[in-house]
Structures are given as C-alpha cells and as structure tokens.
Structure 1
C-alpha cells in the first residue's frame, strides 16, 4: 500500500497500483470460497487484512490515490470487513483507528 502513496515516479505509482488491485482481486476471489483468509478459522492474517480494509476508503483511496475501486465494489472483501467489525474488539479497533487518524492530523504531510 505504501508503495502507491510514496512512489517517486508515475511509472512506479502505476506499477504499485496495478499490483495492489491485482492482489485485492485475488483475495476477493479467495474469499468467495472461504470465510476467512486461511479457511474457516479467524487468524492473525485476517486481523491484518481488517486493519487494511478499515483504512482503505478513508485513507488509501483518498490520500494515496488508490482509486481504481472502492471497498464497496469488492463484495467479499467488504463482507469480510463488515463481518469482522461485528466483533466487539474489531469495532473498537476501527473507531480507534479513525479517531487516531483525525486526531493526529494524518493528512498534513500530504498537503504541505
């Protein structure tokens, strides 16, 4: 993800964005057959995915200009993010992540 946001050239950005969305497409297809990344059990990989998905439209889509698709356009990825957000701890993590982004003024370095 950061390769998109901090690319030093248009070519590097284009390559990073294409690789990012190819990966999201692959995960989307995988989640059409499985409830979680590693099958039917929640794992650390799903927690890592959740943090990325939670920030995707709010941060990566806007600040890093990863705008080929929004999370809502990925049926299975969006459903996974919503399913994980149902868990109390994940809901708290989502709220905390959003509050931290707003409180710390994450956008300042990008708009100097």
Structure 2
C-alpha cells in the first residue's frame, strides 16, 4: 500500500472532503480524483499503479521530468511526484518504480 501526501494544506483539506472536492472541481472530476487517490493507496508501488490502463499513469518530460500524470477527465490530470528523499534510482539513473511507495500529490491541472 502506497503512502500518499499532499504538497499543500489546501490540497490536503480539499482531497479529504468529498463536499469540498465537488465544490472545487464539480461532481464528475471529484469522483475521478477520489478514484485515483484510492488507486494510489491500493497499489503497492508506483510500478503497479502504472499498469492500470484507466489511470494512464506516465512520467512527464521537460521541466516536469520527475513528475507523473494520471488521467482525470478531459485534459485534466492529477500530478504527483515521488516523495522519497533521496530519490530511489536504478543504476542507469532512472527512477526505480518498483521501489517507490510514497507519492506527493502536487496539483490538478490541464497539462496540454
């Protein structure tokens, strides 16, 4: 089971209250956010989360290289980062997805 934390107090308060999620993002997006949070907590590692086809979890590039994106609705994505310090790395320098068990929810954004 992965540990999920939040980058800001406001994001934490919103994501812990279904009513606040609906108010901030609308009913459908709030349902998707809750589903993705549940999926993150149920997965044992980031590698396992990335195998869920409906989440379409993938690593971003460029200035968001060490962040990951999970589909919500339309162009909106739940953006997360690995919350391990130091970052868990493979020998080739990439993130060791099989060992990542802590994620930090950064934001919900239109990344396109």
- TM-score scaled by structure 2? 0.29
Does 1 or 2 have the higher relative contact order (CA < 8 Å, sep 6+)?
2
**Which of the two has higher C-alpha Rg?**
1
Between Structure 1 and Structure 2, which shows a larger proportion of strand residues?
2
